[in-house]
Amino acid sequence: MKFPIFKTKIEGVRKTKAQKNFVLGRAHKVCAPKFNLTDPKDRKAYFELKVGLEIKKLKEYLKENTFIAYLLGKKNSGKGTYSKMSAELIEPERIDHFSIGDMVREIDKELETPESRKELIHSLEKQYRGFLPLKEAISALEKRNTETLLPTELILALVKREIAKREKKTLFIDGFPRGLDQISYSLFFRDLIGYREDPDIFILINAPEKVIDERIKWRRVCPLCQTSRNLKLLPTSKIGYDKKMKEFYLICDNPQCRGARMVSKEGDELGIKPLKKRLVLDEELMEKAFSLYGIPKVLLRNSIPVEEAEKFVDDYEITPEYTFEWSEKEKKVKIKEKPWIVLDDEGIPSYSLLAPPVVVSLIKQIVEVLSL
Ligand SMILES: [Zn+2]
């Protein structure tokens, strides 16, 4: 599976003479604008500059049309982030996002109340075609623990029901159904593709395991509002220092929140270790999806070899790494920022891209696939 590097770099406009003199005598001929991508205002201007035209085309397209995009990538590869960010940019009213995992959890709730249970079973009777009697399939759903797997046919019927609920909407469907082997996986998508008459697209996401590992290890969550950030890669604006424990912590800066000390979830310190098997399976399923004909594919990559970076991306599009120091004298935390270099799955020193440039590449590729 080869994921091409997508160019999001903008070759700058020529500088005026005055600006040129400003750069300490160095003969910089060009200057491209710089953006702080963690700032919402800056981010808006960034998208306007890099994909303004494409967003306009998509807005126009979505007035009369829809499409379905299936997001495929390893756990924690950024599926939710990328799809939500692009929906936000294009047309939040007309785009819906749902994940298969959330869907299955929702079903549990529906089965609890008699009315919604009846409605659910009724709709499944229409959609379900499987080798287990529907009754048994539903009881598998109810008695589900992490070990028992749901029949593929049942998941299919449930996904179709979700799609049918959102008839006039463009959909981003997030994630592999759990526990699919290669054969049921092919069945799953062959059956779904073309279920609705609008175009469907596979969006495949490639993120190095080392990136996924660090995202989990340094993840911090607000106990009050559940906002999730990362101590090393995506800190909040306020950092605290616990002298007793000799550790730094994030203070939630969600304006709707009371600023709690963010904590790590149990098991996160292990990173991808407990996920290894799952990631291998996810990789196999991605390969399978990649080889499926009859559906256009959008390929997104999270990383870029350090050596290639200058040609393809602007430096503010790269994920920095943050470190902290406590200054006893000033009684405050000092924050340091430097480029973060990780080895990709082939062992090549790479940068990890922030979400916005990946979304730029996503939007441009969708426009191309839809020939807008
Ligand atoms: Zn909070």
- Report how far ligand 1's centroid is from the alpha carbon of 41 (Å): 21
Cite the beta strand spans of 207-252 per DSSP E. 219-221, 228-230, 238-242, 247-251
Indicate the DSSP class of residue 273.
G
CA of 29 to the centre of ligand 1 (A): 45
* CA 37 / ligand 1 centre spacing (Å): 21
Q: How many CB atoms lie within 10 A of CB 364?
A: 18
**Residues 153 and 129 sit within 8 Å (Cβ to Cβ):** yes
**Confidence (pLDDT) at 25:** 44
Residue 299's pLDDT is 97
Enter the DSSP assignment of 346. T
Going from the Cα of 75 to the center of ligand 1, the distance in angstroms, rounded, reads: 24
Cα of 122 vs centre of ligand 1, distance in Å, is: 40
Q: How many angstroms is it from 365 CA to the middle of ligand 1? A: 35
Q: What does pLDDT average to in each consecutive run of 10 residues of the chain (372 residues)?
A: 92 56 49 86 95 97 94 91 93 91 85 90 86 83 64 85 90 79 76 86 96 97 94 94 95 91 95 92 89 91 96 95 94 94 97 97 97 96
pLDDT at 32: 74
Q: How far is ligand 1, taken at its centre, from the CA of residue 174, in Å?
A: 25
Within 10 A of 221 (CB to CB), how many other CB atoms are there? 18
Structure tokens at 7: 């160019």
Report pLDDT for 86.
94
pLDDT at 146: 52
CA 34 / ligand 1 centre spacing (Å):
30
Q: How many residues does the chain have?
A: 372
pLDDT of residue 300: 97
- The pLDDT assigned to 292 comes to 85
SS3 at position 318: strand
Residue 214: alpha-carbon gap to chain centroid: 15
If you ran DSSP here, which 8-state letter would residue 77 be given?
Answer: S
pLDDT for position 268: 95
